[in-house]
A and B are shown apart, each in its own frame.
Chain A
């Protein structure tokens, strides 16, 4: 079956709408050849390869074979540089400008693989970041928080990641996308609250500090808020797609919209502003904490 992607795909509502709309029917196919047709696509945000990878996982779990057709050369080049086309046995192209953060999929139980990936793909970049070690540290920590959130709540077989860095743009954005096809936020929060709630409301609930669906001996309810607070300070962007809900924070505003079709898991896209000149704590001098009052 040929599945046409009908529009350009960028990291915004219409991009997520396009992908979820195009691929919904293919999620129901079994034991077929699924051909992803990019003829109508002039531009595809590289970080969203994480979503493509997640859909391919879904298709393959249903014993489908997946092919890609009619990729524009410009998109093919990017998909080779970020190693996404490695899935289709196309050789990786040398990323001479070092702006790709490679597509990878991780087994949630493998702690070390993601750490090594972050160190290679982010810390290994010459230009990351150019002016503030602490900014870089905070960005990395936010990425680890998001990954850990996906591991803990997604209960998934794989976590897909991909990113892209734009050092030539004024704000030097770094986009990083994490996707899982496990239990989505609407399912988790509805089960926790014992009531069916709208997907965008579920995402809004999950973002709030102190809200968690955890109930065991390890507390929760901080990870997404920590990321959210940093993104606000950094003047970045955060987007979450889960089930049929789209949630976005940027420029001081929260925007939520419904999608026509659901994504079974969760997509989280972070955009960091590497031209951030905020005054973070610049000193990394160590000292003993005031332990009398900590606990």
Chain B
């Protein structure tokens, strides 16, 4: 049993670019995942996409306790244009880093800027 979240229906158009819209998608995905339901997120018809949107819609999922395994089993992404695939990968990689150790990044920033 799975539910489908069609992006163009939720954002009412083909331009998935804002954090607030990404948040709406996140809420729908999370509602399904909390109840251990498989959710299909369909990007058919999306013409414009930003990391800001994907950070909120998908990257934010790592703020919960879902494991990568769980997400791979329960969250299916469909109909992404070839030109946007790399953006998804960049966002997911970055989200994992961001939540893995937030304190560690302040230290990284210090060393990259000041050589400490």
Contact = CB atoms under 8 A, between A and B. Distances in A.
Contact of B92 (A223, A285, A295): A295
B57 to A, nearest CB: 9
Contacts of B91: 219, 222
Interface in B1-22: 13, 15, 17-22
Contact of B20 (A111, A211, A286): A111
Interface in A114-146: 115, 119, 134, 137-138, 140-141, 144-145
B16 to A, nearest CB: 9
Contacts of A137: 47-48, 83
Interface of B: 13, 15, 17-23, 44, 47-52, 55-56, 59-63, 68, 71-72, 75-83, 85, 87-92, 94-95, 97-99, 102, 105-106, 108-110, 112-113
Contacts of A115: 13, 15, 17
A280 interface: yes
Nearest to B15: A115
A202 B18 CA distance: 25
Contacts of A209: 94
Contacts of B97: 210
B71 A283 contact: no
A153 B20 CA distance: 14
Contact of A221 (B77, B87, B98): B98
A285 B82 contact: yes
Contacts of A226: 51, 87, 90
B6 to A, nearest CB: 13
B68 to A, nearest CB: 5
Contacts of A111: 18, 20-21
Nearest to A286: B79
B8 to A, nearest CB: 13
A207 to B, nearest CB: 11
Nearest to B54: A222
B83 A281 contact: yes
Contact of B106 (A138, A193, A220): A193
A205 B90 CA distance: 19
Going nearest first, the 3 A-B pairs with the smallest beta carbon separation are A295-B71, A219-B98, A148-B52
A197 interface: yes
A294 B88 contact: yes
B113 to A, nearest CB: 6
B55 A144 contact: no
Contact of B52 (A152, A211, A292): A152
Given A111-B20, A295-B68, A145 B51 contact: yes
